[in-house]
Structure 1
Amino acid sequence: MASSSTSAQHHTNRLAKEKSPYLLQHADNPVDWYPWGEEAFKKAREEKKPIFLSVGYSTCHWCHVMAHESFENEEIAKVMNENFVNVKVDREVQPDVDRTYMTFVQATTGGGGWPMSVFLTPDLYPIYGGTYFPPRDQFGRPGFPTLLKRIASLWKEDPEKLKKSGMDVMDMLRNATGLNDDGRSKDAVNMDIAHKCYKYFVNAFDSKEGGFGGEPKFPTPVQFHFLLRYYYYTHHELGSESLSNLSISQIHAKGNQLGIDFKGCLEKSDCIQKLQQAIANQQKALEMVKFTLVKIARGGIHDHVGNGFHRYSTDRYWHVPHFEKMLYDQAQLLATYIEVFLLTKEDYFAEIARDIIKYVVRDLRDPVGGGFYSAEDADSYPHEGAPHKLEGAFAAWEKSELDQILGEDSIVFCYHFGVEEKGNVPREKDIQGELINKNVLIERYTLEETAKEFSLSLDALDQILKRSKEKLAKHRAEKRPKPHRDDKILTAWNGLMISALARAYEALGTKEYLSLAENAAKFLKERMYDTGRNQLLRSFREGPGNTNGFSDDYSFLIQGLIDLYECSFDENYLKWAIDLQETQNELFYDQNSGGYFNVPETNKDILLRMKDDHDGAEPSANSVAVSNLIRLHAFTQNPDYHTKAEATLQTYGDNLQKHPYSMPSLVSSVMLYVKNIKQIVFLGDIQNPTVVNFLNVIRHRYIPNRALLFTPSPDRVDSSVIAQKNDSVKYLLQAIDASDNKERIPSVHICENFTCGLPIRDVEKLEEKLSD
């Protein structure tokens, strides 16, 4: 690692005035950094200098490496300051800037990542880009100083040539991203897309270690999200009726739901056999998710001592992680574990869900306001007074440490978690030699195998492991410096967490989870929402940030608010969701061809106004927006919501047909659109024991296409969104007024296609109806 000469003199640049933890990390660099904005752009234009743009985030390991090697180096900083206007961007605060130039980097290099390093013209057109650059030339590739000098020389020789090249590239990207085309495909939005997507994941599944593809392995909740819904729609909805009782035409109809080609299948017995095989194949959708969730929960990517999950695994075994912890991973994995618990009723998945919540509440929650922080770093100091941070220092263990801390329990603990005397991290997975002799805990054996090895009962083993984890957690908290925490609060990621906590409350019944979700929503409304403009802000840290919300902020929070309404029946959440949906439609919706742009048209600093459909670590804003529109239509019956959902899906119809596996969350929204919403309408006092039992029956089932509605009490009808806008509820209320049911006997109505069934007044009937 290059030595830094920052000790020679103290530097402070413009980033010292910023709130982003990432920008503040660079406030003492000798580099004359600017935040993204007109001050930097004006300087570049006036001095006719290119811009060097560096994009990262505060818990990014390789961002730290490049910072130490290059940005803290006086000689390299001098070259940067003399030849460039240098701009720092926190990708989490300004995803619009990140997405624009990441698209360029990926298109021109074939890859991407952070730190992202891009050279721009003063008019913000990209010249050259990449990710991490080392401080010296190596392996036939230029180091960062060589690259700086080369770009500076090219700019001085012929700046117009570089400007034209940048403009040409951006024009190419506009065409490649389909921003100049109306790509609607009305015939493409159907279940065939889901069948094609499912086949891809079956073929990509790692049957030995879980997950999809090789290394590195990411816990990809958007894929789990799709597979669980696919399982429900194709397997669960086929029903339990004996196939032998069906006619051949009915068998064909059921098979069509699974995309089965019955061509040439004329004999009933042959068709039944074909259908049975297809049904068995669909079971794999659930099994792949279950298997993978167990693997990652037992793996090193799971923090067995400190709870929660690290970002991803550098190997195919889920063993050696990249150690940062992100709020969006915790939120999406929490939702996934809850959904699998609902499908399987296996307590194991509920326990992992509780483990995630424990971590988030302890380490990522603002104890005063109730909002959730963004992340914890991969790197930390190995001990007080250490000169350098190391990746994984807070999480990894030496065998001698464990023996000393755990005493006689160590032999059992170390066996179960695969601890080795010389460490269990393969050298090739420790590029910088930071984990030598260290162990990353991974459950090498099942509880049954470990108990058998030591002739222990499962209860006795559980006590040993529990006792050991508590001792290690205490040791870490008292003896090891904690990793840096990025304590900015992002609207989008809080929306994901609100949604996950609401679902956890429904499934597990723990009232604290509902309170956590509601307090976070309250924080966002009070501190990150402009009521006058009905607009969201992107971030909060020591006060609201000055960046307006992006499309994903609206999509994710609207989803969270709908989920909050369904588990609390507080219509204020639904009203706010509707208000935010109207703003999202106004600011981001493409009236010409459908779909939502990432940024509003008023954002003039962004050269490429994109509409994401591909999923990354988070679902695309468009996929969640479609789901929100379909759900809100079920609550309000506003036809504009249905029209926009349909148009957005049609906009991406061609892409969905060609590569649905790259947008599994959008495919989930396709299935919701095709299968329609089940409106489940409750009548009665929400505190009534019968109503509570009705709710528990619904909440303890996995029904991804439901909309729960509660009819308001007579004194609240006039102020109720549901009562005023939903025809099904209007009809039920009118029927009550015209009948003798003035006491509003508790009942449930299941409505589909805006036609409601007869009232259900006992729990057994409701169970029976939901099992049909």
Structure 2
Amino acid sequence: MADRHVSLANRCGESKSPYVRSHMDNPTAWQLWTPETLQLAKDTNRLLFVSIGYSACHWCHVMAHESFDDPRIAQLLNDHFVPIKIDREERPDIDRQYMDFLQATSGGGGWPLNVFVTPDLEPIFGGTYWPGPKSERAETGGANFEQILLKVSTLWKEQEDKLRENARQIAAQLKEFAQEDTLGEKPDGEDGLELDLLDEAYQHYKNRFDDKYGGFGGAPKFPTPVHLRTLLRLGSHTQLARDVVGDTEIEHARHMAVKTLECMAKGGIKDQIGHGFARYSVTRDWSLPHFEKMLYDNAQLLPLYLDAYLLTKSDLLLETVHDVATYMTTEPMQSSLGGINASEDADSMPTAIDHHKREGSFYVFTLDEFKQVLTEQEVDVCAKYWNVQPNGNVDRRFDHQGELVGKNTLCVMYDTPDLAKELGMSDEEVKRLISSGRQKLLAYRDKERPRPSLDDKIVTAWNGLAIGGLARTSAALLSSAPHQSSSYLAGAEKAVKCIRDNLFDPKTNTLRRVYREGPGETQGFADDHAFLISGLLDLYEATFNDEHLQFADVLQQKQKKLFWDEKNYGFYSTPANQPDILVRTKDAMDNAEPSTNGVSAQNLFRLGSLLNDETYEKMAKQTVGAFAAEIGQEPGLFSGMMTSVIASKTGVKGLMVVGEGDAAEAALKKARETVRPNCTVLQVGGGASSEWLRGRNELLKDLDASRQMVQLCEGGVCRLLEAKDVEGLFSD
């Protein structure tokens, strides 16, 4: 079929996505991913050029500047393709299917994700960042984007049948691979897994651990919060699990997690004078971040640092808990609607009079700026403390665009007692000067530098992660830091209200994925349901307001209806019969975000315990069993499933608090301040809102809520506890 001429106009201005809108002035005639656009590709027999990115993505901005703003490149795209721009945070399903293709065919991936797709949506060729024809990087070898466009358009014109056949084969292989991933091993719900795999998972991380700087592997280095959480919690599981792994190994597992978290807290990946963590480190030692800040990273790091603090009582880890919680509950991250925004950009203008953004401009400093802003004594202390050098501290090898020459990323290089000793000062004086220096630098930064662009989308899944972290933090710090605790709890409850008011339809129990200038068209995916349910369960255990538990129950029923595989078990990522995707997959392996099925299995175990619902517990075991073969082969890649694997073998404990009194108060305090996987807490009476819960949980219907009682239930057997029993409450 011949390519019929069509004149396209740029439609990015019709999108609500900040990322897509940022391309509205490109000469490239970007289209949106809609049924009309997909039909246009079929009608004109053109390849789709699908470009996927997100607002905070640095290399997305680079490619936009080098190629999509280039009139010559734009003409090639407009004349020979149907170019489509997609925000991966709005459509993670489309992103995933083409990312799977890219990783399968090239072994790599990343963003921007660029893929050439037939009118039948089957991919033929893809890549990430390709340099523009005028880019310095185009001279270092490999094809530039213009050459790629010319080659692909020629092949489509001259060898369309061959390309279509190759694309069909690739699509068939992707579907076959996805089908293999969705076959349950034990339809009866038995997972066939042994707890020995906990030791295998531990060995996986031990072999990759960086003893010097923490983390796993070399550069670039990512926080991997799901894996660190498993290592940190290993010793907090049952005695049976500890017997399998061994006390020495458990201590080392905890060391690996704590060492990594400490190094990150001191590194450039953390905003040392503001708040929050950047996406990842370009360097092995965490010193040079890729400066974008993502909600999903910070939302996962908050409960991780909380667990580490509860286990170590480290001041550094507690400071970091407050830092991340503050970042998520203050402007610009928490919106006026109450939802928490998606991200802050890596790039920004160095000053208000500049015209070109640079990566990291908001966060880096020169020594001259330190001298301009700080007193001489503050410079002496702060420059040493944060490793600020006269000629900058960024290795030129990692500064590919030369944007950080002479600049310094701020990294903590000293413990304050050691710095005090070196400078002949008291520890208190050094701490005072660092504190005053930090305040002055922050004020200078906020006044003199334009802040990075904010992606103010409210993503349901990521808000679910944040709600859970804030709720747990609020509960754990209620006794020691009541003011901050109240603030964090308020932040979590505002986010829930925002979602209920703007992204949830109570008539149909339908959840939507994104809010920005109104709810988006895309309905919530399985991860939106799973992460929000998890956050609501944490919020219930922090407040004992069963409205949150009821909402979680409603969402769990909806998740089952839309995504549950009745034949082979587990949850698909997308609903059935979705017309614009090639492959329906199940997510069980942890990546930057925890796996949907890992979170879902844990949700089901928790709901089964709180509601005394055997159906949920059975589904939890079936979810674990659906991935038994994969988990058994590579347990280190399925950290998010480990807690549920243990629950499948040993069950879930339930702490039931009735009324008030010394035993109730002691039990709740202990529960809130303890790392306690596979243990739920509920309260009836004593100020708790429990009318709905008592109707939903058969065991509670006839309970006298005026009594004062604490019970620990396990395996269908409950035992009464007194205040003196509480100290050993969560030990076996």
User: TM-score, length-normalised on structure 1?
Assistant: 0.89
One-letter identity of the residue aligned with 2:628: G
| Structure 1 pair 768–612 and aligned structure 2 pair: CA distance change class (3 A) | closer
2:684 is matched with 711
2:654 aligned counterpart, secondary structure: strand
The answer to whether the 8 A contact 1:337-1:352 is kept is yes
Deviation, structure 1 residue 214: 1.1
How far apart are the structure 2 equivalents of 1:728 and 1:291?
Answer: 44
1:53 aligned counterpart, secondary structure: strand
Q: How does 1:729-740 map to 2 (within 5 A)?
A: 729-730=700-701, 733-734=702-703, 736=704
1:757 aligned counterpart, secondary structure: strand
Equivalent of 2:203, from 199, 206, 224?
199
The answer to whether the 8 A contact 1:681-1:729 is kept is no
Post-superposition CA distance 1:103-146 (Å, at most 9, x none): 00100111000000000011111011111111135444111111
1:493 is matched with 462
1:266 is matched with none
1:334 is matched with 302
One-letter identity of the residue aligned with 1:466: S
Q: Is the aligned partner of 1:662 residue 2:630?
A: no
Q: Is the aligned partner of 1:726 residue 2:697?
A: yes
| Structure 1 pair 189–443 and aligned structure 2 pair: CA distance change class (3 A) | same
The answer to whether the 8 A contact 2:191-2:626 is kept is no
2:373 is matched with 405
2:710 aligned counterpart, secondary structure: strand
How far apart are the structure 2 equivalents of 1:151 and 1:192?
Answer: 50
Q: Is the aligned partner of 1:90 residue 2:50?
A: no
1:529 is matched with 504
Instruction: Provide the alpha-carbon RMSD of the alignment.
Output: 1.9
2:481 is matched with none
1:271 is matched with none
1:33 aligned counterpart, secondary structure: coil
Aligned residues: 711
2:291 is matched with 323
Deviation, structure 1 residue 494: 0.3
1:232 is matched with 236
| Structure 1 pair 205–181 and aligned structure 2 pair: CA distance change class (3 A) | closer
1:275 is matched with none
2:340 is matched with 372
How far apart are the structure 1 equivalents of 2:621 and 2:345?
Answer: 41
1:305 is matched with 273
Equivalent of 2:213, from 202, 209, 214?
209
How far apart are the structure 2 equivalents of 1:507 and 1:713?
Answer: 19
1:129 aligned counterpart, secondary structure: strand
Identity between Structure 1 and Structure 2 (%)? 39
1:473 is matched with 442
The answer to whether the 8 A contact 2:657-2:682 is kept is yes
1:766 is matched with 726
Q: How does 1:496-575 map to 2 (within 5 A)?
A: 496-509=465-478, 510-575=485-550
The answer to whether the 8 A contact 1:417-1:441 is kept is yes
Deviation, structure 1 residue 538: 0.4
Q: Is the aligned partner of 1:394 residue 2:362?
A: yes
2:244 aligned counterpart, secondary structure: coil
Structure 1: tracts of 5 or more residues without a match: 1-10, 239-253, 261-277, 737-741
| Structure 1 pair 12–474 and aligned structure 2 pair: CA distance change class (3 A) | farther
1:354 is matched with 322
The answer to whether the 8 A contact 2:302-2:324 is kept is yes
Q: How does 1:100-249 map to 2 (within 5 A)?
A: 100-136=97-133, 137-179=138-180, 182-185=183-186, 186=190, 188-233=192-237, 237-238=238-239
Q: Is the aligned partner of 1:630 residue 2:605?
A: yes
Deviation, structure 1 residue 29: 0.6
Equivalent of 2:35, from 35, 38, 41?
38
Post-superposition CA distance 1:367-411 (Å, at most 9, x none): 421110000000001111212110010000111111111121101
One-letter identity of the residue aligned with 2:473: A
How far apart are the structure 1 equivalents of 2:666 and 2:621?
Answer: 36
Q: Which runs of 4+ in 1 moved over 6 A?
A: 713-717
Q: Looking at CA atoms only, which structure, 1 or 2, has the larger radius of gyration? A: 1
How far apart are the structure 1 equivalents of 2:595 and 2:610?
Answer: 23
| Structure 1 pair 180–710 and aligned structure 2 pair: CA distance change class (3 A) | closer
Deviation, structure 1 residue 187: 5.1
Post-superposition CA distance 1:70-128 (Å, at most 9, x none): 00011100000000000011000100000010000100111000000000011111011
How far apart are the structure 2 equivalents of 1:770 and 1:642?
Answer: 21
How far apart are the structure 2 equivalents of 1:46 and 1:654?
Answer: 44
One-letter identity of the residue aligned with 1:563: D
Deviation, structure 1 residue 366: 3.8
Deviation, structure 1 residue 706: 1.3
How far apart are the structure 1 equivalents of 2:181 and 2:253?
Answer: 37
Q: Is the aligned partner of 1:756 residue 2:727?
A: no
Q: How does 1:268-287 map to 2 (within 5 A)?
A: 278-287=246-255
How far apart are the structure 1 equivalents of 2:725 and 2:643?
Answer: 30
Deviation, structure 1 residue 190: 2.8
One-letter identity of the residue aligned with 1:82: D
How far apart are the structure 2 equivalents of 1:668 and 1:427?
Answer: 43
How far apart are the structure 2 equivalents of 1:663 and 1:301?
Answer: 25
How far apart are the structure 1 equivalents of 2:364 and 2:141?
Answer: 34
User: TM-score, length-normalised on structure 2?
Assistant: 0.94
How far apart are the structure 2 equivalents of 1:690 and 1:505?
Answer: 21
The answer to whether the 8 A contact 1:712-1:720 is kept is no
2:625 is matched with 650
Deviation, structure 1 residue 324: 0.4
How far apart are the structure 2 equivalents of 1:398 and 1:140?
Answer: 34
1:330 aligned counterpart, secondary structure: helix
2:243 is matched with 258
One-letter identity of the residue aligned with 2:538: D
- Farther-moved stretch of structure 1 (203-212 vs 157-166): 157-166
How far apart are the structure 2 equivalents of 1:551 and 1:143?
Answer: 38
Equivalent of 1:612, from 587, 597, 600?
587
Q: Is the aligned partner of 1:99 residue 2:96?
A: yes
Post-superposition CA distance 1:490-540 (Å, at most 9, x none): 000000000000010111111111111111101100101011210110001
- Farther-moved stretch of structure 1 (608-617 vs 631-640): 631-640
One-letter identity of the residue aligned with 1:203: N
How far apart are the structure 2 equivalents of 1:716 and 1:290?
Answer: 37
